[in-house]
Amino acid sequence: MAALRTAVPVLALLGLCLGPAAAATPLVIWHGMGDSCCNPVSMGYIQKLVEKRIPGIYVLSLKIGSTLIQDMENSFFMNANAQVREVCSQLATDPHLRGGYNAMGFSQGGQFLRAVAQRCPAPPMLNLISIGGQHQGRVYGFPRCPGESSHLCDWIRKTLDLGAYTKAVQEHLVQAEYWHDPLKEEDYRKNSIFLADINQERGINETYKKNLMALKKFVMVKFLNDTMVDPPISEWFGFYKSGQAKETIPLQETLLYKEDRLGLQEMDRAGKLVFLGVKGDHLHFSEEWFDSTILPFLQ
C-alpha cells in the first residue's frame, strides 16, 4: 500500500509534465478525374475511414469550385495550373495546416499534389502519397470515367487524339496537360503547359527540386492490373523508352533520374521514395490494404 500511495503522486506529476498527447498530423486529399471532394463512395468514404482510424485528425478533402458539380467539372476543364494555384491558396489560409500536413492524391490528384509540393512550400507538405498518380503522364489508354461522366471521356479521348498539344486544348482540357506521347517528345516538351514544367523538361527550376526534396517520404502506389493508365509504370514515375510505345523503363533508367533534375535520385538513395504495388485495376483496393499499407504513413 505504501508503494502504491507513493506511486500515485509521481504518476500525477508525470502526467502534468507530459501534457496532452500530440495531435495527429492533418491530411489533405485531392480526388481524381470525374470525382468530387465528398462523393460518399469515394473521397467521402476515404475521409470517414481515416477519421475513424485516426481519432482527432483534421482531414481536408479539396473542393475546386463552390459546388460538387463544379468540383467534378473542373477536374476536366479547369486549367491544372490554375487548380494548383487555387489549392495553394486554400492551404495557405487554413489555420489547421500551419504546422505541416500529409497529402494523399488519387489518380490525377497525385501529380497535382506533387505540383503543390514543388511550387508551394508553405505550409510544408510532410509526406506525399500518390495512389495511381501518373507522374510521367499517360497516353493512348485514356481511362473510363465514373458514372455520368462517361460520355465526357469519349469526347475527351477524340479531342486528345486530334490535337493534345494545340494551345486551345492545352489551356482548356486538364487531361491534355499531362498527356505524354512518346512518339511526339518534342511536341510534348515544347507545348505541355503542366507536366513538362513540373518534370523539368525545359530547364531546371532549383526551387522545384529543393521543395520536393524536403518531403520526408514520397509514396507511389501502382495498380498491378491497371487497364486505365497507359503505361501503368507511370504510377512509379517510369515511362516508355523514348521514341517508341512498347518498351517501358523504370524511373531509375530515365534521364529525369540520371540527371537528377527533380532530386529523385538523391531522395531514392536517402530512402525517401517508396514504391508500392497493389493487385487490382485503377483505384481498386480493399479497406484492409489501405489500413495496413497506407495508414502507417499518416500516423
31: which 3 cell numbers? 480526388
* DSSP-assigned beta bridge partners for residue 101: 125
**Known active-site residue 180:** no
Rounded-to-integer distance, Cα 189 and Cα 53, Å = 43
Residue in 281, 235, 283, 223 with CA at minimum distance from that of residue 39: 283
30: which 3 cell numbers? 485531392
Every domain of the chain and the residues it spans = 27-139+203-297
* DSSP-assigned beta bridge partners for residue 276: 221
Name the active-site residue from 31, 135, 180, 282.
282
**pLDDT value of position 156:** 73
**Known active-site residue 187:** no
Rounded-to-integer distance, Cα 104 and Cα 46, Å = 10
Residue in 272, 250, 138 with CA at minimum distance from that of residue 194: 138
Name the active-site residue from 75, 107, 192, 234.
107
Rounded-to-integer distance, Cα 124 and Cα 256, Å = 24
pTM: 0.88
* Structural contact between residues 239 and 254, judged by C-beta atoms closer than 8 angstroms: yes
What is the percent of the chain where pLDDT is above 90?
A: 74
* Structural contact between residues 183 and 244, judged by C-beta atoms closer than 8 angstroms: yes
Per residue of the chain (299 residues), give pLDDT as tens.
Answer: 333 333 333 333 333 333 344 689 999 999 999 999 999 999 999 999 999 999 999 999 999 999 999 999 999 999 999 999 999 999 999 999 999 999 999 999 999 999 999 999 999 999 999 999 999 998 655 555 554 455 666 677 677 766 789 888 898 889 899 999 888 899 999 999 999 999 999 999 999 999 999 999 999 999 999 988 889 999 999 999 888 888 999 999 999 999 999 999 999 999 999 999 999 999 999 999 999 999 999 98
DSSP state of 54: S
Is domain 27-139+203-297 annotated with CATH 3.40.50.1820? yes
139: which 3 cell numbers? 497516353
Encode 163-208 in three state secondary structure: HCCCHHHHHHCHHHHHECCCCCHHHHHHHCCCHHHHCCCCCCCHHH
Burial, 289: exposed, middle or buried (Cβ in 10 Å; 0-12, 13-18, 19+)?
middle
Name the active-site residue from 181, 226, 260, 268.
226
Question: Kindly report the CA angle at 81 between 79 and 82, in degrees rounded to 5?
Answer: 65
pLDDT, tens digit, 9 for 90 and up, residues 248-262: 999 999 999 999 999
**Known active-site residue 94:** no
